[in-house]
Chain A
Amino acid sequence: MKRQIPLIIIMTLGFMFVAHSFIPHKVSVDFFDWFQDWAKAISPFAVSLGIMSLFMVHGTKIKRKVPNWQYSVITLTGLVFTAFAGFVWGTQSGTPYMWLFENVQMPMSATMFALLAFYIASAAYKAFRARSAEATVLLIAAVIVMLGQVPLGAMISKWIPEASTWILNVPNLAAKRAIMIGVGLGITATSLKILLGIERTYLGGGD
């Protein structure tokens, strides 16, 4: 019953939502309003999962004094201090909480992604080889699109931006459309599988 009841709930709700997609009657609208209110009330508790997980993982590392356990102390200190700052001094602009966000979190998360530019350059030099005809076509298309995006491409030849636009509007469109149709069918199939209780991985392990 520990798995059956959640499955019954999701099947019932799921089919009600399928019906709701097609029925404009007030009953259907009221059902959606009810669901909205309840979903809004449930949602804030989901963040507790993340907090618990973080404390469990890093707490264990500190307790067992694994290599580099000191960095776990930094993680947990950062978490506690930031949350504390938000609750005590507020979350408005100018507070310590926002200072931590603007000068600690924002620059670091942006920099993490910026590292990728270096890696892509290194990969372009060391790994992107025209080993086959298909790979050559891929590289040529990439070069044309890269040149088409910058003013220099238009200055070299007016055909470069036009070729870049053609690549995006014809072969890329065909490729992405076909992939999208496949993905759309996959989403529909997976949603149906969840609705019908065939797909149960979201229930987690155990009985």
Chain B
Amino acid sequence: MNKNVIQFFDKMQNIDRRYIYIVVALSIIIPLLIPFNSPTFVTKPTEDIYKKIDSFAGDETKAILMSFTHDASTMPELFPMEVSVLRHCFERDIKVFTICWLPAAAPLVDYALNTAREDFDVQSGVDYCNFGYKPYVLRLPIMLGMGDDIAKAVETDSQGRKVENLEIMKNIKNYDDMNLVVDFAASGSALQWVTYARARFGANIAAGVTAVMVADNYPYLQTGQLMGMFRGLKGAAEYEKLVDVFAAYESEDYPNGRPFSKEIIKETSVPITGDTVPYKYKKARIGMNAQSVAHIMMIVFILLGNIGYFITKKKEL
């Protein structure tokens, strides 16, 4: 093989890692600065969550619980999911409760609620309720207690009000009514919901996880123990699109959103360049552009590294 090529790959094998860091940074900065429209393909695990939540639309006897078990470090993946779910609930008049188990998650819940409710006329205690921070050591007792009586298990909300006195709790007693729990976590905490809330009380559990936990949670998805799963930033991007296309859709025939349809979601594309969709509702899709470029860059690194390895190995032989 050409001596120059071997020398080139030799040099490349020993390149300072700080050059690699610069390439990584640029591969993310450039797509974020120059957004482009790319298709978002919605997959079944995300669709199933959308359909389940949407089935509670306008039903006073049903609610969903959003459980936040993460801190600010995983916000980029989980926050867009949370805002999209809240937006869906507010668009379609679905009662939503939020709860968190880590001190660092408490302001994230407030931030998500404040971000989503800006555009809606919703009231705390009536349309939504934030149960607030409950210490992690009480997670199991509260999880199990909500199977009998949510108001008794949780006691007070984040504002110190007695949950049993709130208007939102009319017709909501336990998991039979608050029938879907969506757990947003960067760990395997959905397993606890599946083990205790689903196994014992039959609650439907969905998980919003960071991409690193997706592969580990697949068995639960396949067995039906998890009825759906948001898979990292991609899952967030898919849900953003679903809410744009269905829940937030307004027309004469559908003044408060339209029902889910597989054909419509396949054919419709929502442009993210321009001002049609507010930035806060398309963050994940913009992020996916950078994700695409970063993945290509990573694959190129793996290929280059291996090509260089085999060439230098051949030279040694």
Interface residues on A, range: 35 or more
Q: How far is the CB of B77 from chain A (nearest CB, A)?
A: 10
Q: Which of A2-10, A66-74, A120-128, A192-200 binds B? A: A120-128
Residues of A with Cβ closer than 8 Å to B? 29, 32-33, 35-36, 39-40, 42-44, 46, 93, 98, 101-102, 105-107, 109-110, 112-113, 117-118, 120-122, 124-130, 139, 142-143, 146-147, 149-152, 154-155, 161, 165, 168-169, 172-173, 176-177, 180
One digit per residue, 1 when the CB lies within 8 angstroms of any chain A CB and 0 when it does not, for chain B 286-307 equals: 0010011011111101101110
**Interchain CB contact under 8 A, A125 and B110:** no
- B8 on the A face (CB < 8 A): no
B137 touches which one: A43, A161, A176 (CB < 8 A)?
A43
A-B pairs with lowest CB-CB distance, top 6: A106-B72, A150-B292, A125-B301, A36-B141, A113-B73, A151-B38
Most chain B CB within a 10 A radius of its CB, from A44, A98, A151, A173: A151
Complex CA gap A32/B140 in Å reads: 11
- B3 on the A face (CB < 8 A): no
- B104 on the A face (CB < 8 A): yes
Q: How far is the CB of B236 from chain A (nearest CB, A)?
A: 12
**Interchain CB contact under 8 A, A125 and B305:** yes
- B76 on the A face (CB < 8 A): yes
Residues of B with Cβ closer than 8 Å to A? 13, 17, 20-21, 23-25, 38-41, 43, 71-76, 104, 107, 110, 114, 135, 137-138, 141-142, 144-145, 148, 153, 211, 214-216, 218-219, 222, 232, 234, 288, 291-292, 294-299, 301-302, 304-306, 309
Complex CA gap A174/B140 in Å reads: 29
Complex CA gap A129/B313 in Å reads: 12
Complex CA gap A169/B145 in Å reads: 34
Query: What number of residue pairs across chains A and B have CB atoms under 8 A from each other?
Result: 137
**Interchain CB contact under 8 A, B216 and A150:** no
Determine the residue in chain A with the shortest Cβ distance to B306: A130
Jot down 9 A-B pairs with beta carbons below 8 A, ordered by A. A110-B73, A110-B75, A121-B23, A124-B305, A125-B304, A128-B306, A146-B299, A152-B296, A176-B219
A150 touches which one: B215, B222, B295, B304 (CB < 8 A)?
B295
Question: Using Cβ atoms and an 8 Å threshold, which residues of chain A touch B13?
Answer: 126
**Interchain CB contact under 8 A, B73 and A112:** yes
**Interchain CB contact under 8 A, B73 and A154:** no
Q: How far is the CB of A159 from chain B (nearest CB, A)?
A: 14
Determine the residue in chain B with the shortest Cβ distance to A113: B73
**Interchain CB contact under 8 A, B110 and A93:** yes
Complex CA gap A190/B40 in Å reads: 44
Question: Using Cβ atoms and an 8 Å threshold, which residues of chain B touch A124?
Answer: 298, 301-302, 305
**Interchain CB contact under 8 A, A105 and B72:** yes
Determine the residue in chain A with the shortest Cβ distance to B233: A149
B141 touches which one: A35, A44, A143, A161 (CB < 8 A)?
A35
